[in-house]
Amino acid sequence: MKQKNEIQNFFFNLKEILVLFKEASFFFYIILFIFFGVTNCTSNKQVDSEKFEPNAYERAREFADKNPVTIFGGSNKSTNFVFGTSNILWRASLKTLDFVPLSNVDYSGGVIITDWYSVLENKEQIKIQIHFLSNELRSDSLVIKSHKRTCESNGLCKNLTISENFNREIKESILNTARLIKIEESKKK
């Protein structure tokens, strides 16, 4: 009887050891899976520093020069225009609005939207949107929309459209800057 109890205890202990071994191997496989999953996500690619231009402005200019964007098809109709670094209106708009932080600049779509801007923590802020209809140096090539936000001390804000006079002043400023850029470029040639 004593021998039978010893055999039963041995098998009982063996079962417990096997259960513990299965649990341990399960955790071992999980740890192994996580280890290989994480290490395979890393990249060993190195960027060739001679090919990579660190200046983002220069990279964008090179890309725009090599890949002009044509809108509304490839025909030579009046609705076909190309936005590129040669677009004087685009450059003049950015130069005119260089004091305001930009929220959205869509070069291919021809849209510039500024962020809300105020002078010296004023309660009034402005936001300007410029839509390019063509790249010709004409007043109807641009559509300017501007909004004014007035915030009270309790955090409530009111948004209003600014008068057309303000929009016209911005448009005239952009067109004058574009004319000056065009004159400067013609002198260089």
Q: What is the DSSP letter of 125?
A: E
Model pTM above 0.85 = no
Q: What is the pLDDT along the chain (189 residues), one digit of tens a residue?
A: 556 566 666 556 656 665 655 666 666 666 656 666 666 555 555 555 556 666 776 777 777 777 665 554 544 444 444 545 568 888 899 999 988 899 998 888 889 999 998 887 778 899 999 999 887 888 888 999 999 999 888 878 899 999 999 999 999 999 999 999 889 888 886
- Residue 110 CA to residue 178 CA, distance in Å, equals 16
- Residue 186 CA to residue 4 CA, distance in Å, equals 108
- Residue 33 CA to residue 27 CA, distance in Å, equals 10
- Helix, strand, coil in percent for the chain, rounding step 5: 45, 20, 35
For residue range 63-82, list pLDDT tens digits in order: 777 766 555 454 444 444 45
The enclosing H or E element of 4 equals helix 2-39
Contact between residue 77 and residue 167 where contact means Cβ atoms under 8 Å apart: no
- Residue 144 CA to residue 142 CA, distance in Å, equals 6
Helices (H), 40-146: 56-66, 88-96
- Residue 155 CA to residue 148 CA, distance in Å, equals 15
Residue 71 amino acid letter: I
Contact between residue 144 and residue 128 where contact means Cβ atoms under 8 Å apart: yes
- Residue 38 CA to residue 31 CA, distance in Å, equals 11
The enclosing H or E element of 167 equals helix 164-188
- Residue 83 CA to residue 130 CA, distance in Å, equals 14
Q: Which residues of 145-173 are buried (b: 16+ CB within 10 A; e: fewer)?
A: ebebbebeeeeeeeeeebeeeebeebbeb
Second-level CATH architecture of 87-188 = 2-Layer Sandwich (3.30)
